[in-house]
Amino acid sequence: MTDLLGRRAECAAVDDLLSQARAGQSGAFVVRGVAGIGKTALLEYARGAAHASGFRVASSVGVESETHFAFAGLHQLCAPLMDRVGALPDPQQTALGVAFGQQSGAAPDRFLVGLAALNLLAEVAEEGPLLCLVDDAQWLDEASAQVLTFVARRVAAEPMALVFALRDPTERDVRAFDDIPDVCLGGLDETDARALLAQAVATPLDHGSRDRVLAEARGNPLALLELSRTAPSAWLAGGFELPEVPGIPHAIEVSFRRRAEGMPAQTQLLLLVAAVDPSGDAALLWRAAAHLGIAPESTAFAEAAGLLEVGARVRFRHPLVRSALLRAATSSDRRRAHAALAAATDPDLDPDRRAWHRAQAVVGTDEDAAAELESLAGRARARGGLAAAAAFLQQAAELTPDPAARARRALEAAHAKHDAGASEVALELLVVAASGPLDALQHARLELLRAQIAFHTTRGSDGPQMLLEAAKTLGPLDAARAREAYVQAFEASFHAGRLAARGRGLREVAEAAQNAPPPPAPPRPVDLLLDGLTTRFTQGYEASVPPLQRALEALRHDDSGPDPDKGRWLWLACHVSVMLWDDESFGALAHSAVRLARETGALSTLPAALNALAVYLVLTGELSRAGELLSEEDAISRATGAPPLPNARLILAAWRGRLPEASDLNAAVVADATRRGEGTSLGSSQVSQSYLHNGLGNYDHALAAATPPWEHDEFPHSSSALPELVEAASRAGEPGRAVAALERLSSRARASGTEFALGLAARSRALVTTGPAAEEHYREAIVRLGNCRMAAHLARAHLVYGEWLRREGRRQDAREQLRTAHQMLSDMGMEAFAERAARELRATGEHPRNRTTHRTDCLTAHELHIARLVATGATSREVAAQLFLSPRTIESHLRNIFRKLDITSRRQLRELQLP
């Protein structure tokens, strides 16, 4: 391939990408630049280079009018490859089928669609290297943009390359592409610009004319070509006429528009129909043209002018041709074009586009068109296109003549916009809804949505009160929704924590929730959760244990299937289980949340579920596995563009005893929590700091950290803080504070009744007891904690018992306990606590053993996670589905794992003792 003029480095980047892909190292980059700068030309260079190298090329072009059609851009890319869809697992086949409107089913999570697209492309790449080209990516529909950037971040070991062209700047939010490497195109330098101009102009230019064109174009290649083509002949001959050109993209559009304006009226109308239809379907174009009475030969003028190509597909010479035609067209002409396309579109094969074109052809309002758009929104939602559904409902509201129906549709559009993440637009639609007549239930739903948006966007202190008001209004109108709103108010107040405004804390929410309508019979898990939380903050911890335990039991055995709110209730229930020291429920619910997110492909909720499970694994002493999950969570968050969740990382760093890492994380968490008004994150960070400093032996610091969550009785952090506070106070010379905390801990532990709670109480009681009675408490703590899953606290019980025995002068007995503690803590990776045990052992005259090294220490957390899954007998395809990767990528990781461990088979991997 011949390099593009002035783009040698960029062409080399394309060549490198293709070379790496051919060698099995996937890659992607985004070509950024202003309109006309050469993005499309570079993609065409990539297409030619790929064909020359034996690549298969799949392509898609974003179209501004297509942004409301969910997965339209993805379907355009994947449609020619769907003959390989049968190789995908059934859930992935279904996800793609539903997303593309080829079959019915529950709306798939868009990242399950992403995994399906990744594996479809990987399957095609198995047959030969694959290049995916996406031009005008700023106009991709939101669902396609998220899926394709997810694929770009997850490809690793496939012979595959992806190149996106993105106009920059653009008025659309294109943050989905932010983390993908980019190639930024600037203007050509003067030498290259002169050379391109000389190639484009057949007649010689005098110096003045040439300099004018160069000055106007400012190195923009398409501007150079178009200005040289369309500038007046007098100007090119040395005249002094200078066109008015406010900006380069505008100049290019003006040149395309002028070229079109010189054509026959029928050709201009045909061009507009092609511009209005983003599908590129030539047969559809001819049917619409026939409807308008346009003769087929009308295309000859457009093709001769280099604006349009009509073959099997309809293609514009450049994306700016389409935008130029659309901007120049009158409203009446655009409506004529849309009406013709609506008439030409088969209502059975493509009802969505037919309804959309029909709506665009409406003047004023039209109930039939609005009703059809509302139906279209339902189909879009069923395919997982929340953004598309919201757009259709919004336009349906605008077309609705009846004020009451318009208000209802605006309310539904607001809900859809909020669900799609467009909360600001949702608030604007709520203003429209509020202006029309609403019945009492609709008005209550409006206020609830307003409150939910406020909580979602600020997490601030106003959220609880607004949700409470909405819940109260809903009470006599919709009991089920009212009770859920009260639980959401608890959730909002829980987030605000100690930073909640006066009168808007958990107690105030609980007092208001006492007036909630009665639950249905039988009560749902969320109803039991509401009753338990209400009791907790009106009658106290002890009284709330029975109803909260019933709620946890109901959620553990809830088989109601996928539910949009189920993940939220599981998340809240995990916090309840921590408060109750119910390790069995904590583990079961955290595993359930991860399993539910994996089964439904809900990558939007999986990171939070992985975070909760990682915290549980830290407390069970499985720090290595917790790190693996956080590695997975980090990879998914980067792939989906979501910010990583810090709490589990902070807890993991604290239990590991890594002061610099934990301190840096803590500072970031505190700053962000204070800015957002999230008191619960402050409590979480302080509990983590108490773990860290108790491990390091900095008891004054540990005491200072553990005190605020106790004093504020924070949910759920006070339960975690109490045993840390007792240990820190007893070692820092504050026995009174230790005893006061122990009294509360003991009362709550008796109410909870779990071995974990009673074991923590016994260990804490031993720390403030002297004489023989202390030993009884230490031994009770070891027995009880040995009967639960919380191995980290069991190891600490051995540690503090050994420390007490050494102070009592019983060196031999102390060595036994300290030896056990040191080995457990070292094996877990709890370095600071392990060093505490080591110091005590040395004080008894025994030198502690070094930590046993494992063959797997050389593996990264991600590799260890894959090794563990493979060791259980999972196939590469099964591991790939769980980790949202392709099987080929898993195989590549396995080769690295085998090389590092000096093994050659999965059987040998299964025989290893993985930590």
* DSSP-derived secondary structure for 135-192: ESGGGS-HHHHHHHHHHHHH--SSSEEEEEEEESS-SS--GGGTTS-EEE--PPPHHH
Percent of the chain with pLDDT strictly greater than 90: 51
- DSSP-based three-state secondary structure for 349: coil
Is pLDDT at 459 greater than 80 in this prediction?
A: no
Is pLDDT at 493 greater than 50 in this prediction?
A: yes
**Token couple for 596:** 């539910």
Give residue 68's pLDDT band: very low, low, confident or very high (50, 70, 90): confident
pLDDT of residue 244: 43
Give residue-wise pLDDT tens across range 211-258.
767 776 778 888 777 766 655 443 444 433 434 444 566 667 777 888
DSSP 65: G
Give residue 777's pLDDT band: very low, low, confident or very high (50, 70, 90): very high
Backbone angles phi, psi at 314, to 5 degrees: -100, 125
CATH of 8-184, one of 3.40.50.300, 3.40.50.620, 2.40.50.140, 3.30.390.50: 3.40.50.300
pLDDT of residue 121: 96
Give residue 72's pLDDT band: very low, low, confident or very high (50, 70, 90): confident
Give buried/exposed letters for 96-128 (b at 16+ CB in 10 A, else e). bbbbbbeeeeebbbbbbbbbbbbbbbbbbbbee
pLDDT of residue 2: 66
Measured between alpha carbons, how far is 903 from 603 in angstroms, rounded to an integer? 33
- C-alpha closest to that of 796 among 773, 830, 768: 830
- C-alpha closest to that of 164 among 845, 178, 641: 178
**pTM across the whole model:** 0.74
Burial of residue 332, with CB atoms counted within 10 A of its CB: 0-12 exposed, 13-18 middle, 19 or more buried: exposed
Peptide bond into 523 cis (omega under 30): no
Give residue 297's pLDDT band: very low, low, confident or very high (50, 70, 90): confident
Average pLDDT, integer, range 369-381: 85
> Which stretch of DSSP H or E encloses residue 771?
none
Determine the topology of domain 753-850 in CATH. Answer: 1.25.40
Average pLDDT, integer, range 825-850: 92
Q: Are 323 and 267 in contact (CB under 8 A)?
A: no
Count other C-beta atoms under 10 Å from residue 297's C-beta.
9
Is pLDDT at 432 greater than 60 in this prediction?
A: yes
Instruction: Work out the mean pLDDT of the chain and round it to a whole number.
Output: 87
pLDDT of residue 728: 98
Among the residue ranges 241-255, 473-487, 514-528, 820-834, the one predicted with the least confidence is 241-255
pLDDT of residue 238: 41
The radius of gyration of the chain's CA atoms, rounded to the nearest angstrom, is 33
Is pLDDT at 852 greater than 70 in this prediction?
A: no
pLDDT of residue 877: 86
Measured between alpha carbons, how far is 607 from 281 in angstroms, rounded to an integer? 41
Strand residue runs (E) in 583-638: none
Give residue-wise pLDDT tens across range 597-625.
777 666 667 888 899 999 999 999 999 99
pLDDT of residue 241: 40
Is pLDDT at 290 greater than 90 in this prediction?
A: yes
pLDDT of residue 242: 38
Q: Which CATH superfamily is domain 564-645 in?
A: Tetratricopeptide repeat domain (1.25.40.10)
More confident residue, 447 or 168: 447
**Token couple for 788:** 């639960």
Count other C-beta atoms under 10 Å from residue 259's C-beta.
19
Average pLDDT, integer, range 141-147: 87
Is pLDDT at 564 greater than 70 in this prediction?
A: no
pLDDT of residue 228: 64
CA distances (Å), 796 to each of 285, 464, 790, 819, 848, in order?
Answer: 75, 39, 10, 12, 17
Average pLDDT, integer, range 130-134: 97
Among the residue ranges 10-14, 101-105, 614-618, 621-625, the one predicted with the least confidence is 101-105
* Phi-psi region at 280: left, alpha or beta (left = phi > 0; alpha = psi -120 to 50): left
Burial of residue 886, with CB atoms counted within 10 A of its CB: 0-12 exposed, 13-18 middle, 19 or more buried: buried
- C-alpha closest to that of 858 among 902, 817, 889: 902
Give residue-wise pLDDT tens across range 744-773.
999 999 999 999 999 999 999 999 998 899
DSSP 132: E
564-645 and 857-911 have identical folds: no
Measured between alpha carbons, how far is 617 from 791 in angstroms, rounded to an integer? 10
Average pLDDT, integer, range 319-329: 84
Q: Are 688 and 619 in contact (CB under 8 A)?
A: no
Determine the topology of domain 857-911 in CATH. Answer: Arc Repressor Mutant, subunit A (1.10.10)
pLDDT of residue 543: 97
Percent of the chain with pLDDT strictly greater than 70: 91
**Token couple for 463:** 């959220």
Is pLDDT at 46 greater than 50 in this prediction?
A: yes
Measured between alpha carbons, how far is 911 from 915 in angstroms, rounded to an integer? 12
Q: Are 410 and 436 in contact (CB under 8 A)?
A: yes
Could you write out the three-class secondary structure of 649-704?
Answer: HHHHHHHHCCHHHHHHHHHHHHHHHHHHCCHHHHHHHHHHHHHHHHHHCCHHHHHH
pLDDT of residue 307: 87
Among the residue ranges 162-171, 211-220, 280-289, 855-864, the one predicted with the least confidence is 211-220
Count other C-beta atoms under 10 Å from residue 304's C-beta.
10
- C-alpha closest to that of 776 among 791, 765, 789: 765
Spans of all domains in the chain = 8-184, 190-243, 259-361, 378-557, 564-645, 646-734, 753-850, 857-911
- C-alpha closest to that of 162 among 141, 142, 148: 148
Q: Domain 378-557 classified CATH 1.25.40.10?
A: yes
**Token couple for 794:** 């069991």
Backbone angles phi, psi at 101, to 5 degrees: 70, 20
pLDDT of residue 236: 43
